[in-house]
Each structure stands twice: as C-alpha cells, then as structure tokens.
Structure 1
Amino acid sequence: MKKAGKIALAVAGVVLVAGAVTVAVQWNNIKAVAYMMTMDTGTLSQRAEENRKTLDKAMEDYQIPSYTFSEEEMSQLASGELSEEEAAARILGENGGTTAEPEPSQSGAPSQEPSPSQSTPPSQSPSASQSAQPAQSADQGGETSAQDAEAELRQLVATMYVLQATYEGKLEAIVQEAIDEYTAGEHTSENRTRIVYSKYDALTKLEQECDQKVADVVSRMRELLKATGQSESLADEVQRTYEEEKSLKKAYYIREFQEG
C-alpha cells in the first residue's frame, strides 16, 4: 500500500505541476493543497459526494434518471471505446420516455371553409381570427424554440455528467498505470521519479482537454439560458462542481498517501 501510495502521491504532485499553466488552474491547485492540509480521506470523500449532489440535482430538474457507470463503462470511457456522446445518449435513454411531441396547432386542423352561401363578400374585411393567425404562429414558434432549448440543456447536463466521470476514470487509469509500472520494476526513488514524470504529458493533456470540453458545455448553457430568459445559475453550478471535483480528487490522492 505504501509503495502504491507513493506513486499516487507523486502522480498527484505532477498533476499540480502540470496544471500550473493558467491563473484559474493555479487557483484550483491551491485549493487542492488547502483541502489536503485540512481534511482526511474520509472527509474528502464525503465532500466529493456532497459536491456531486449539485449535478445530481440538475439531472433531477431536467428529468434525467440517476445513472451510475459500471466499472466496465468507466474503463470504456477512459479508453475511448465508449464515446462521450454515446454515454450521454445511454443516460438519456434510461428515461424510457420520448420527447413530447408538440400538440397540433390550430392552424394544422382541417380548415373550415365557408360554404359558397356563407362566403365573405370581397368588400368585407378579414375576420378577427384571420388577422390573429400571424401572431398565433409567432407564439407557437417561440414555444417550439423554448422546447428546443430545454431539450438541448437536458443533453448538456447529461454530457457534463459524462465528462466528470470521464475525467475521474482517465485520471485513475493514469495513476494505476504508474503504480503497475513501479510494482513491476525497480523499487527505487529514481525509478519512481522517472515513471511519474513520464506521465506528465498525459496528465497535462487530460486536464486541458477536459477543461476545454467543460468550458464549451458551460458556454453553450449560458447562451441557451440567456436566450430563454432564465437565470445562469445552472451554468455557474456546473462550472463550480467540476472545479471542486478536481481539487478534491487531487487532495484525496495526496492525503491517501500520507495516511497509508
């Protein structure tokens, strides 16, 4: 356990170094160190569970069923065998329902043309119902747009859940790979250092890729929320939850070594 712990600690250290590129990431790393210094692994795990409840609440609000990825699915996400789009579709498919079709508009009903005897004389002005049709169509168009926005927001919430699981799975895969290499090789500090720093590029790429994907999701959320006149609190919470998850995960690896 101690040998594996040392590798996990070292990898976590490289995560901190690899992440020290932007001010935002540096702040995330500072939080990770602060958490590590003030919490044990049990507390960190509890905080992580509480943090995930924010995303769980968003899923509940958008009628996305609770979904726990299996170990096989986590492995497939980490390897790329299961794409993020496929995983999100799998989550949404668990709902068992279908997107509600908009009710047929009045304009889609069979027209009730007046009989020849009831036809409007050429000099008579259009009826009130006829003049209201353009406004009615505009209202229906607005409702459709709002429904489309809600459907896309639902998709984005599911995607965010997948991204968080993917980051966690890939990070743990890198840590385990380093542990396996160390276990199979020489148990020296030099070999440990070599193995850990050989993961630098993979860790840097992972965090940068995930940060960008999350930024894209949050940006699109803001666009949709603004367009439909809603609060941007959902986008704020999603961003905060992701950043908090990263800090807690880094702190957990370091603290696990200290306690093991």
Structure 2
Amino acid sequence: MSAYLEARATSCRVGGATLLDSVSARFAAGQFTAILGPNGAGKSSLLSLLCGQRKPSQGRVLLDGQALDAYPPLLMARRRALLPQDLSVAFDYTVQDVVELGRYPHRQQPSSQEAEIVQRAMQATGVQALAQRVLNTLSGGERARAQLARVLAQIWEPVPGHSRWLLLDEPTAALDVHHQHAVLRLARRWAHEHGVGVVAVLHDLNLALRYADQVLLLQNGQVQADGPPAHVLSEATVRRIWQVDVHPVRDADGNLQLLMA
C-alpha cells in the first residue's frame, strides 16, 4: 500500500483570487509534516484540499494512490480527522459530548471499547476533569484540547488496510507554552508510534524545528521549499520569506532553535 496523501499540481481559486497555484506535495503516513508560511500563503487552503473539504480548481488530491472522492464518505471519516481553527460549537455540548461526536462515523461498526476510547482521548489531551463542563464556557486553550480529543477519538483505532490521517489547522494558536509542547509531542507520538500521517499548519518556526519530520514552506500560494526542517528553515530562507534575521543555536538538549536578531 502506498501510504501517502498527495496533492498533484493543485490550484485553488475563489472568485478572482488564486489561493494556491499548482501546488504539488506528498505527505507520508508515520511522519509529522508542518506546513509553514506567512499570513495568506495558502496554508489553510491546502489543508482544506487535503481533507476533502474543498475541491481543487485544477489538479488532484490522492490518498493512498486513489482520488479522495473515490472513497465512501463514511470510510474517509473513519480514517481522516480535521481539527479546524474555529473551535466553538453551536449548542451547549459538554466536553464529553464533543469528544463522543468523534465516534459518530463508527456508529455502524462500533468498537468493543467505545466508552473507553472517549475517556482515553480526553485523558491524552488533559481534559478528563473538564468532561461535564460546557465547551463554550471554557478558555480557548481548553476548547482546543477538547477538540483535539475529539479528532483523536475519531481515528483512535486502525482501519485495516488503510492509513490514518490527522490534519491540524494551527493547533497551538490558543495554547500556552506548556500545552503547545504537550500537544505537538502527542501529535508526533501518534505519527511515530501509531503510523498516523500528521499534517499541521504552524506559525512558530521553532516548534516546527523541534517536532516536525518534514516541512512544506508556502508563499503566495506556491511551494518555496520542502524537506527536513533544519534544511528548509535556513537563515537565508527565513530572511527571504519572513523578512526577519535569525541566528541558529542549540538549546541545552541539543535541539536546533532560531533566535530572532
């Protein structure tokens, strides 16, 4: 099985605006890939194509070698989960209610551990104590972790013969520093230990350096670079794309970091 999620020469146009222009990229199951770029680069637009939320104006998106629309929607929902930027809900759902929604695609073939999966997903993201709280009464960071528990519950168990994918749109935006690292450690663990393909839109270059296996760099709707984070995020590239000067250093654990000049 070719365990890849792939965009082939994909373009995305809305009205008269071109959000993505002939973007090609391949994402591997079992890896954590960060999509980086300045505001308006097309990061969220690419994620919307990869999850099937939006169809490309040109080109194709393939999952394990087949077009996304070749898969039944219910199967897609069992193997691919999206964490969007908008984390609010329309009704007074509790945290547990929201996490249980992640199990909805499995209703026709429920796991023998349905209740346990919901509890374990909440425990993994540190929201178990908030289970009976109404989601919309929580802080932005708490809502983000509750919604992360939902998408983890959605793809918790392997789907025989199919890869699983976790697509995260700015998952650290509402989090404090401690939870930023905790969430990305969790995402990387799901990639490396469970074979899940993780694709995350990030803004923090140092978080990408610390946790991502690969980086896709976008600007003005086009791919500027693709590869290992330390290679892509060179001083010259950061200066060209973000127009800031940085200096690479190693922290106490030997991790490469970029210091703003």
Normalising to structure 1: TM-score of the pair?
0.26
Give the structure with higher Rg (CA): 1
Higher strand share: 2
Select the structure with the greater relative contact order (CA < 8 A; seq sep ≥ 6): 1
